[in-house]
Chains A and B, each alone.
Chain A
Amino acid sequence: MTDPQVSQPKQLDLLQGTLDLLILKAVSLGPLHGYGVLLRIQQISGQSLIIQQGSLYPALYRLEHQGVIASEWGESDNNRKAKFYRLTVAGRLRLADETARWNRMSTLIGQFLLATPATLGEEV
């Protein structure tokens, strides 16, 4: 039995890290404005990932602050001024890095969850 009080912050950490990864991935497919990032994440995930829209912008600013994405003002599809974000060289590296880490983690967790008393017995 896990205590929900303790496990909750970990979930949040995971989510925050994940949001960064999602944004990087979305932007890597082509420059996007903030709303576009939201749309693309929903489109790729088939509407199954729900993102707090208000938390999107602090994340974008944080990533830009760290130098992994860069922004530029331009025109949106309906000729409105919008700020477009694109990946920098450092961002590309970071995305690759985070992707590799995510894959390693999910494999690990997957194997972990497959564990049975039988496999444990062999090991010990």
Chain B
Amino acid sequence: MKRLFLLLTRLASQPLSWARAITRRSRLEAEMEAELASHLNLLTADLIRLGQPPAEARRNARIALGSAVDAKEGMRRSLGLRLWDDLYADVRYGARMLRKSPGFTFIAAFSLALAIGANTTIFSLARQILYQRLAVPHPETLRLLAWAGDDHVVVHAMWGEWDNLPGSGIQCTSFSYPVYHQLQARSAAAGLNLAAFKDDTMNATVAGEARSAEAEFVSGNFYDLVGVRTQLGRSIQPSDDAIPGSGAVAVISDGLWARQYGRSPSVLGQTLRLNQAVVTIVGVNPPGFTGAKSVQQSPDIFIPLSMQPVVDPKGENSLIEDQEMWWLNSIGRIAPGIPDTQAQAALGAAFQAAVRATLPLKTGDSLPRLVLSDGSRGMHPTDNLFRKPLYVLLTMTGFVLLLACVNIANLMLARGAHRQREMSVRLALGAGRRRILRQMLTESLMLSLLGGISGMFLAYLGRNVLPSLLSNPWENNALNVPFDWLVFTFAAAVTLATGLLFGLAPAFGAARAEVGTALKDTAQTTTRRRKGLGGKSIVGFQVALSTLLVIGALLFLRTLFALNTINVGFPTDHLLLFGINPPSLRYPDGKDIQLYQRLEQAFAAIPGVQSVAASDPPLLSGNMSVTGFSIEGAKSAKQNLPPQKRLAVGNDFFHTMGVPITAGRSFGPQDTTTSAKVAIINQALAKERFPGINPLGKRFSTAGDKGPWIEIVGISADTRYASLRDPAPAQFFLPYIQMEKRDGLTYELRTQLDPSTLVPTLRRTVAAIDPDLPLVDIRTQQEQIDSMMQMERTFAALTAGFGLLALSLACVGIYGVMAYSVSNRTNEIGIRLALGAMPRQVLAMVLRESTWISLAGVAIGLGAAALLTRLVKSMLYGLEPTDPFSLAGGAALLLVVGLAASWIPAHRAAAVQPMEALRHD
């Protein structure tokens, strides 16, 4: 008890006393001085009283008290001030050393900052895209329903995402509503509760403004199942979803609430129009909740599944009754203790029964198999798109991190070697070894801190740069990447640890060294001794890493160049693109074609618009439309294969786009809704399906071998179709006027006007015809093409940056190691020159040494590149992974940089004066 009290007193007293001493330092020093002086005075007075003469008394008193400096040092130590004082001195000395060699400080801190910044940015993005879970309670118990089938699977009509399985077959996450309904009925018994959702794009009129919006249909039990509560109002209930066509309510996202309603609580009860259907807002989702499809972005509007037939009818039947169309996604929550395999088996049987009951099974058709997969990240549809590029980026930034570490190690070692003498002097003057270690530690930490803090700034600034590089400027998909502290801590820790490790290595060496040897060592040595880790092997490694990064950069730069110089088949400048998607409720079949025509004429009448084209799909947008192509009079069914790529176009398409007609005629005013059906095919199609025959006047059908027949009236030059990378495929063009209906059309306007001045006029023009019709995805043709190259451009930019960084670090490394080698060998070089060596020979000797380092590094780098570049083959265009230009270019670049970096040390060596060198210490 007594002991505890004493311990507590001590624990309370010491920090207080320490803090007092730190904060009132000057007063403390004065008090110590005064106290010792008072002691001395009293002692002197007593000695005089004892009969000593004053001078002798003062002297004896001073002897008795001892050294005042020692006493004060002891008093400071008693207060725990020693460590603090030493640290303060170390920091001041360290700052002076860093200021004294600004080049070293800058390069070390800069490479650290870049490595930390790049790693944090890219790892954060990768974590966000590849690993982030849905913001719902217990995402780990969520399961996503999918099915897998072979090439003969009975499911034919799908609306949604699917993946090709390795080998053959597909895996798909879409189900028909009847199948989902039967599964849902069994789900409780199987231990996996199911809910359904479907993301859909529609026209929304929100607060009087028509625009395109993402919406998510959800089943009535969806909110209950994912466990999300609205932050305002109520969520969608099973009662909303009870009867198809009813339940005109909506829950809006936090983002839409903030953007359009200024977070006003009066949003509840307001209405918005979705494709002409009016729904009432009943609730607002919590921030962070993104629905079940994606973790990155939230649809703006959530509506009950029962509204599907009203809001977005597809064809004549409501999708809720449709047995053919598979479109609905389903997510489930697995009951505790139920293994996935058990739930999958139980539901799998029900699934196959439901498929048999809803789809007619012909001979040769196969049944799909139910697959349960992780649902904690929703459907994560972007995985396939981003996984590989992200892994490649992660690997490259990993290399950059490694390179920065190697660079730091090299710099620290070289610096440590330079300061060997300083350490010896310190030791000789009586510094303790631990004291020297502590000082080096402080210096390394200061440097690391400098790099770490700058890196944090870079990462903070860069965290939204990458997502914006990877998304289209005209699409509203702001991907927010939060600053990832875990990743930052990791990157910082790795680099700091390296800095410390290599900063301390020379200090350990110094502390171990006998005082005499190092002092003697630098005096008159002609032979070199290996000191610790070889600086040259480190530089060689650095060169190898740099070669690898530079080759990677060259590959991606050449890919971008190749993509940029593709001739797509038409002039891409001065073309403005935008889409119009009329809702089918207001514009049933036929009515929509009239609307497109009216709009086309209205756009053509706008001053400054030279001509107007329309097409579905737009060229080079990644979209395609494929239909049958059966030639009249074909002898066998085989002759009517394969189906061909098709474009529905406006009559002025070829003129506006600048695609030449090489034979026959273009579409024109004579082609109307009622005139004979006509088509134009491109040269590739002519060559493929009409070899050696003139296709003009031939007829074909898109609906099988019984017509209706369409006459080929013209042949056009080839253009690229959906993808920029694929060479121009066979394709044919039909006038949209002669088609029954189009679910949306993209207009292409050729104009010399600036898009920003034209767009308001366009909006007014459309609003005059239908105020609820938004202009969708406004962009120029060039922007559209650029967006196809976004990934490549981002890669080229990032890897070029990495490559440059690598080159400069290699340069610094080679310069550093050669400069050190030359300064160490001044004596030897002096002797060589004195014995008759020509300066030219000395120059060659140094350059030869550095070239050997570069050559070894480049050889290793080339080997690694040959192994690794194969992995990015699918990301390259127009060149092989072993592209000789990139490999040779990278190697040559490194060799030249190596020569350039050692040029100054080599000249310094050649300019050595023999006499001075021999006298030189």
Contacts and interface: CB of A to CB of B under 8 A. Distances in A.
B349 interface: no
A80 B38 contact: yes
B38 A54 contact: no
23 contacts: A34-B39, A35-B39, A35-B43, A38-B39, A52-B66, A53-B39, A53-B66, A54-B65, A55-B74, A57-B71, A61-B74, A62-B78, A66-B10, A68-B6, A76-B38, A76-B42, A78-B42, A81-B38, A83-B35, A83-B38, A88-B9, A90-B13, A97-B3
B449 interface: no
Nearest to B35: A83
Contact of B13 (A58, A67, A78): A67
Interface residues of A, number: 30
Contacts of A80: 38, 41-42
Contacts of A93: 2, 5-6
A65 interface: yes
B35 A57 contact: yes
B78 A65 contact: yes
B316 interface: no
A29 B64 CA distance: 25
Contact of B9 (A57, A62, A64, A68): A68
A40 interface: no
Contacts of B5: 90, 93
Would you list the 4 A-B pairs with minimal beta carbon distance, nearest first? A67-B13, A58-B74, A54-B66, A61-B78
Nearest to B67: A54
Given A58-B78, A62-B78, A97-B6, A81 B34 contact: yes
Contact of B38 (A38, A82, A94, A96): A82
Contact of B6 (A52, A61, A94): A94
Nearest to B61: A53
Interface string A17-61: 000000000000000011100100000000000001111011101
Contacts of B41: 80
A53 B3 CA distance: 30
B7 to A, nearest CB: 10
B628 interface: no
B739 to A, nearest CB: 93
Contact of B79 (A52, A65, A88): A65
A53 B35 CA distance: 13
A35 B31 contact: no
Interface string A87-116: 010100110110000000000000000000
B64 A53 contact: yes
A99 to B, nearest CB: 12
Interface in B21-75: 31-32, 34-36, 38-39, 41-43, 45, 64-67, 70-71, 74-75
Residue among A33, A34, A65, A82 having the largest count of chain B Cβ atoms under 10 Å:
A65
Contacts of B12: 67
A33 to B, nearest CB: 7
B36 A65 contact: no
B601 interface: no
Contacts of B598: none
A58 B75 contact: yes
B37 to A, nearest CB: 10
A74 B13 CA distance: 23
B806 to A, nearest CB: 54
A35 B42 contact: yes
B803 to A, nearest CB: 58
B582 to A, nearest CB: 85
A55 B64 CA distance: 11
Interface of A: 33-35, 38, 52-55, 57-59, 61-62, 64-68, 76, 78, 80-83, 88, 90, 93-94, 96-97
A38 B65 CA distance: 11
Contact of A65 (B17, B43, B70): B17
A58 B6 contact: no
B840 interface: no
A93 B1 CA distance: 11
Contact of B14 (A58, A59, A65, A96): A65
A55 B32 CA distance: 13
Contacts of B43: 35, 53
Contacts of B10: 66-67, 90
A59 B67 CA distance: 16
B65 A64 contact: no
Contacts of A35: 38-39, 42-43
B75 A90 contact: no
A34 B723 CA distance: 92
B387 interface: no
A69 to B, nearest CB: 10
B665 interface: no
Residue among B14, B39, B45, B70 having the largest count of chain A Cβ atoms under 10 Å:
B39
B92 interface: no
Contacts of A83: 31, 34-35, 38
A2 B352 CA distance: 93
Given A66-B9, A90-B9, 12 more contacts: A34-B38, A53-B64, A61-B75, A61-B79, A65-B17, A68-B9, A76-B38, A80-B41, A81-B38, A82-B35, A83-B34, A93-B5
Given A65-B17, A93-B5, A97-B3, A57 B36 contact: yes
A81 B38 CA distance: 8
Contacts of B9: 66-68, 88, 90
Contact of A54 (B3, B6, B14, B74): B74
B139 interface: no
Nearest to B65: A53
B80 interface: yes
Nearest to A53: B65
A73 to B, nearest CB: 8
B22 to A, nearest CB: 13
B39 A58 contact: no
Contacts of B848: none
Nearest to A88: B9
A34 B2 CA distance: 28
Contacts of B2: 93, 96-97
A78 B41 CA distance: 11
B77 A58 contact: yes
A90 B71 contact: no
Contacts of B77: 58
A68 to B, nearest CB: 7
A61 B12 CA distance: 16
Contacts of B79: 61, 65
Contacts of B18: 65
A58 B71 contact: yes
A65 B80 contact: yes
Contacts of B64: 53
Nearest to B20: A65
Nearest to A73: B31
B3 A57 contact: no
A96 B3 CA distance: 11
Contacts of B17: 64-65, 67
Contacts of B32: 57
Contacts of B39: 34-35, 38, 53, 57
B637 to A, nearest CB: 100
Nearest to A97: B2
Contacts of A62: 78
B70 A54 contact: yes
